[in-house]
Amino acid sequence: MEYPEIKKRIDEIRREAGDAELLLATKTVDCDRIEYAVRECGVKYIGENRVQEFLEKYERLKDLPCELHFIGTLQKNKVKYIIDKVSLIHSVGSISLCEEIEKQAEKHGIVMNVLCEVNIGEEENKSGFLPAEVPEAYEKMRSYPHVRPIGLMTMAPVCQNKSDYLKFFTKTYRLFIDNCIKNVDNRYRPILSMGMSDSYREAVSCGSTMIRIGSAVFGSRN
C-alpha cells in the first residue's frame, strides 16, 4: 500500500472515532510503514500481537515518538522479554499472568500498566475473564504493587451484522463504568480498549476510548 493511502485511511478513521484514541495494530507490518504512520501521520500508539515479532522490530520502534503497547495473547514465559519495553499490556486475562507481570515488573523496579481482558462473548476458545468474574479479578489486580490496572480490553465475537456488536460493547462499557472509572489512578485516563477494523464504529458509539486498527489502515495481512 502506498503511503498517501495510509494517511488517507488514518484521517478518515480519526474523523469517525471522535475522542477515541487510535492504536495501530502492526502485526506483519514492516517498520518503514509503521514509522511513516507515527512520524508523518501523528499516530501516538502502536500495538504488537506477537512477542517474537515485537522483539525483531524493537530496535526500530523504541525511538519513535509513540507508546508501544502489547495487545496479543501473552504467555507467562514471555513476559520477561517485554516487561521493560512496553508501556501498556492490553491482554491480562488471568490472575496467574498478572502475578507473573508483578514478578517481572518488581525485578525491573517499575509499575506496569495493564488492562483487564474480558471474554465478553463467553467463548470457549478465547482468553479473558468472564463478565461475572471481572469485579473480583479487577480488585485482585489492584492489590499488586507493581501492576496498575487502568481499564478493560475486549474482543467481541465475530458478528455478521454490525448491529450485533452493540450488545457486546454495551455490556463491556457497563463493566468499565462499574469497575474501572471509580478505581483508576487519577493520574491516568481510564482506557476501554474495544473495537477493531470491522467494528470500531460500533465500539466508539458504545463508549470505547481506544480502538485497535490494523487492516483498515494497512490492508489485509498476508
CA distances from 160 to 28, 42, 112 (A): 26, 33, 36
**Long-range contacts, stretch 72-77, CB < 8 angstroms, 24+ apart:** 72/27, 72/48, 73/49, 73/127, 75/51, 76/100
218 occurs within a structural domain: no
CA distance 160 to 209: 24
Give me the pLDDT at residue 187, please. 73
Using alpha carbons, list the distances in angstroms from residue 34 to 45, 61, 200.
Answer: 10, 8, 20
The reported pLDDT for the residue numbered 186 is: 67
Taking the alpha carbons of 68, 210, 146, 50 in that order, is the dihedral positive or negative? negative
Assess if residue 219 is contained within a domain: no
pLDDT for 155: 95
Q: What is the pLDDT of residue 183?
A: 65
What's the CATH number where 156 sits?
Answer: 3.20.20.10
Q: What's the CA gap between 140 and 149, in Å, rounded?
A: 10
Q: Domain limits at 19?
A: 3-213
Q: Does 109 map to a domain? A: yes
pLDDT at position 181 is 83
- Residue 192's Cα: distance from chain center in Å? 9
Residue 221 lies in a domain: no
Q: Is residue 189 part of a domain?
A: yes
Q: Which residues of the chain fall below pLDDT 70? A: 1, 183-186, 222
**The predicted structure's pLDDT at residue 1:** 61
For the chain, the domain total comes to 1
115 assigned to some structural domain: yes
The reply to whether 38 falls in a domain is yes
Residue with cell 523496579: 109
The two most distant CA atoms of the chain are separated, in Å, by 47
User: Cβ of 171: how many Cβ atoms within 10 Å?
Assistant: 17
- Residue 222, domain member (yes or no): no
